[in-house]
Amino acid sequence: MNPDEQPAASQGDFFNTLNDKVDAHGALVDRFHADLQNFSKQIAGCDKLVRMAHISLNQIDARIAEAVRIEAQAAVQLEATGREAARAATEAA
């Protein structure tokens, strides 16, 4: 018997095994695609969180800038009030 010639039962077993391996590989590919889709959703969620954090940081920066501006105005007014009080005290003396 030629080694290339196999009995029909042996060839059938070979093709059954091959078919099982192809099915198993297909299942792995399907699971990989599902995992990849889940991972993509997680990345999209993280991207959304990063964008929201960026917006929040911009709002915080704007509030800090406003607080600095108000503090600077208060310092100018305090200095002017101090000068006015000193002038009034000098005139009263």
Q: Rounded distance, CA 83 to CA 17, Å?
A: 98
Q: Which residue type, as a one-letter code, is found at position 72? A: A
The pLDDT value recorded for residue 44 is: 97
**Full domain range(s) for residue 79:** 39-93
Tell whether 53 is covered by a domain.
Answer: yes
Helix/strand/coil for 4 = coil
Residue 87 lies in a domain: yes
- For residue 93, the model assigns a pLDDT of 76
The tens place of each residue's pLDDT in the chain, 93 residues long, gives 455 666 667 888 999 999 999 999 999 999 999 999 999 999 999 999 999 999 999 999 999 999 999 999 999 999 999 999 999 999 887
Residue 58 placed within a domain: yes
Residue 93 lies in a domain: yes
Q: DSSP states of 44-74 as a string? A: HHHHHHHHHHHHHHHHHHHHHHHHHHHHHHH
Kindly state whether residue 5 falls inside one of the protein's structural domains: no
Task: Give the C-alpha separation, 75 to 71, whole Å.
Answer: 6
55 within a domain of the structure (yes/no): yes
Q: Work out how many domains the chain is built from and give that number.
A: 1
